[in-house]
Amino acid sequence: MSIFSPTDLDAIGLSTKVALVATLVSLPFGFVMAYVMTFRRFRGKVLLEVAVNLPLTLPPVVIGYLLLLLLGKNGWLGHLLDQAGIRIIFTWQAAVVASAVVGFPLLVRSIRIGMESIDQRLIHASRTLGARWYDTLFTVIVPLSLQGILAGSSLMFARSLGEFGATIIVAGNIPGVTQTIPLAIFDYVNSPDGERMALALCMTAIVLSLLVLFLHEHFGRKLARRD
Amino acid sequence: MELEMRLRKSYGPFRLDADFCVKGERIGIFGESGSGKSTLIGMLAGLVEPDDGTICLDGETLYSRSGGVHIPAERRRIAMVFQQPSLFPHLSVRNNLLYGYRRCSPQHRRVAFEPLVQVLKLEELLDRGVNNLSGGEQQRVAIGRAVLASPRLLIMDEPLSALDDDLKFQIIPYLTGVCGRFGIPFLFISHSLLEMRLMADTVLMFDKGLLVEQGSPDELARRRMGHSPSGYINLFRLGRPVGNNGLHTFAWGDRLLLISAAPKSEAGLYELSSRDIILFKQHPEAISARNLLRGRVVSTFESSGKTGVELACGDDRLIAEVVHEAAVELDIRTGVELFAAVKASSFRPLG
């Protein structure tokens, strides 16, 4: 018999789902952002760079609060979504948004490191051999950034698993609906005899994190061997 | 191939001002590092945008600031071989070779895969990755990849600089062979005059962003003789030795050359500095140098205070270098007969 209650299992499932969806949804945007930062020159690049990295330095609670202002009923975006009959605040999608915003700079940074390590001459060679920019992108830049993409995705997934501050503000802590592992641990720690369960969920978080790191190492080595 | 470049480009204090028109199939661009060679070819390939000017290749305008023309690199059909092989590390040798081939429209394809692979001796390597190949193999794949794109011009940007001397002279026959076989004109960039003489028919010399000389590599070598540390380099393609009696014996025209060092390849390519030749007015009675060549002076030239003496030895030519006083004392002038003494150890094998 499982030591976890159905709501604990929900929290584990939700954490995994939120982290996975946040990573997958952010990946194309993160890739485009890293590409723009690495290969394009334009005015205001520094400002964009600061904006992308801001969530890395801001307290997650601040991010959560700003998201609440933006996505809330009276918020600029929330108002529009409300008119379209979409409500995000206090749903699991809000947890995805919170995780995506907090983890985005980590994703972009890792992909960018991968892209910056690509020898510029390979891109020149590809162009002089007749490849247009999108051809070079898919046949040279994407394959040679795979390690960075993998590292970024792992980091983002792991960061999303641990996301607490922004999530609790924008998604709340509703068991079975928006309660992820960190939020469930928070509840157990605050209840008189929740120590055992808090520890069990901590162990689950550790196992999940280790799994991500092992997978990252495994695929990273595979890619390195191929190169 | 006819190339016309009238361009300006500034990078901070550096200014490149190219203004020339050149015709030929084997063009060299010579200059020390920082002379603007790389910027020039970057603009020709479409990888660097000029500040102003025009580029025309075989009558087609590739770039014209005033005319608003800027054909992107991928549509110029100008392939490049770089100093480093710059092969795609995630692709096999075969897929590296086919990268440009697949992107070349069928009506422009002039080079077929199989013959090229044979010329470059790549048959055994096709299914291997590129990261475990030797330096020479990688550069051969890079040459093949560029040639298979059937470019109308191939730019070779110091393709031999990263290779050691032995490998360099092994690669040169592939470079010239493959371009000659498939009729691809090339622009060869180097800071080595010796490479220029082996690769190019016409040389443009750049210095500090300006074209300073245009002519044959031999003319350039003669002009630089006086201030070059190795003087003028006489090149000998001697083939296989005809005998070996302690020294390697080679046929050179209707005479024999005795050389200490063994040849490095079947081509038997040797160099001899103009400074390693001693000239005699009369036949010396006894001499330790193993080669005594009789020749007639066909021309003399001045270079930085030195006198270059071109001797005709049968159908072959030899250039020796003497100081001005010696030229006067020996009364060296066109038509005079001289003896050139060369030690067997003065010949240096190249490849």
Residues of A in Cβ contact (< 8 Å) with B103? 129-131, 135
* CATH H superfamily, domain B2-224: P-loop containing nucleotide triphosphate hydrolases (3.40.50.300)
For residue A193, pLDDT over 90 is answered with no
The beta-carbon neighbor of B73 closest among A127, A139, A140 is A127
In the predicted model, what is the mean pLDDT of chain A?
A: 92
The beta-carbon neighbor of A121 closest among B46, B75, B86 is B86
What is the b/e burial string over A175-194, where b = at least 16 CB atoms within 10 angstroms of the residue's CB?
A: beebbbbbbbbbbbeeeeeb
Residues of A in Cβ contact (< 8 Å) with B47? 124, 127-128
CB contact under 8 A, B80 and A122: no
The 10s digit of each residue's pLDDT in B260-277 is: 999 988 888 999 999 999
* pLDDT tier at B243, thresholds 50, 70, 90: confident
Which chain B residue is nearest to residue A130, measuring alpha carbons?
Answer: B74
In chain B, residues under CATH classification 3.40.50.300 are 2-224
CB–CB of B230/B277 below 8 Å? no
Residues of B in Cβ contact (< 8 Å) with A127? 46-47, 72-74
Query: Residue A15: its pLDDT value, please?
Result: 94
CB contact under 8 A, B77 and A135: no
Query: Residue B162: its pLDDT value, please?
Result: 81
Pairing of strands B306-313, B248-252: unpaired
| Residue from A128, A133, A137, A139 whose CB has the most chain B CBs within 10 Å, to mutate | A128
Percent of chain B with pLDDT over 90: 79
* pLDDT tier at B219, thresholds 50, 70, 90: very high
Query: Residue A72: its pLDDT value, please?
Result: 87
Look at residue B286 and give its three-state secondary structure. Answer: coil
Averaged pLDDT for residues A110-117: 94
Residues of B in Cβ contact (< 8 Å) with A144? 89-90
CB contact under 8 A, A127 and B90: no
Q: Report the CATH number of the B233-349 domain.
A: 2.40.50.100
Query: Residue A118: its pLDDT value, please?
Result: 94
Query: Residue A227: its pLDDT value, please?
Result: 55
Question: Is B77 part of the contact surface with chain A (CB cutoff 8 Å)?
Answer: yes
Residues of B in Cβ contact (< 8 Å) with A140? 88
Cα diameter, chain A: 69
Q: A110 CA to chain B: closest CA distance, Å? A: 20
Query: Residue A32: its pLDDT value, please?
Result: 96
Query: In sequence order, what DSSP letters do the residues of B8-58 get, joined into one string?
Result: EEEETTEEEEEEEEEE-SEEEEE--TTSSHHHHHHHHHTSS--SEEEEEET
Residues of A in Cβ contact (< 8 Å) with B143? none
Q: A216 CA to chain B: closest CA distance, Å? A: 19
CA nearest to B158, candidates B130, B118, B119, B190: B190
Which residues of chain A are at the B interface, by a Cβ-Cβ cutoff of 8 Å? 119, 121-122, 124-132, 135, 139-140, 143-144, 226-227
| pTM, full prediction | 0.84
* pLDDT tier at A7, thresholds 50, 70, 90: confident
For residue B236, pLDDT over 90 is answered with yes
Residues 6+ apart with CB under 8 A from B62: B44, B46, B55, B56, B69, B71, B76
Which chain A residue is nearest to residue B45, measuring alpha carbons?
Answer: A128
Residues of A in Cβ contact (< 8 Å) with B49? none
Burial class (CB in 10 A: 0-12, 13-18, 19+), A46: exposed
Pairing of strands B277-280, B337-342: antiparallel
* pLDDT tier at A140, thresholds 50, 70, 90: very high
In chain B, residues under CATH classification 2.40.50.100 are 233-349
B179 vs B170: which has the higher pLDDT:
B179
For residue A73, pLDDT over 90 is answered with no
Averaged pLDDT for residues A39-63: 93
CB contact under 8 A, B45 and A132: no
Which chain A residue is nearest to residue B148, measuring alpha carbons?
Answer: A129
The beta-carbon neighbor of B90 closest among A131, A135, A226 is A226
Query: Residue B122: its pLDDT value, please?
Result: 93
Kindly provide the ipTM of the predicted complex, given to two decimals: 0.85
Q: B84 CA to chain A: closest CA distance, Å? A: 9
DSSP at A35: H
Q: A151 CA to chain B: closest CA distance, Å? A: 18
**At residue B283, what are phi and psi to the nearest 5 degrees?**
-65, 120
Alpha-carbon distance of B276 to B342, in angstroms, equals: 7
The 10s digit of each residue's pLDDT in B138-150 is: 999 999 999 999 9
* CATH H superfamily, domain A6-226: MetI-like (1.10.3720.10)
In the predicted model, what is the mean pLDDT of chain B?
A: 93
Query: Residue B173: its pLDDT value, please?
Result: 86
Q: Which residue has the tokens 């083939």?
A: B239
Sign of the dihedral through C-alpha B241, B243, B246, B252? negative
Percent of chain A with pLDDT over 90: 75
The beta-carbon neighbor of A129 closest among B90, B99, B129 is B99
For residue B111, pLDDT over 80 is answered with yes
For residue B282, pLDDT over 70 is answered with yes
CB contact under 8 A, B82 and A122: no
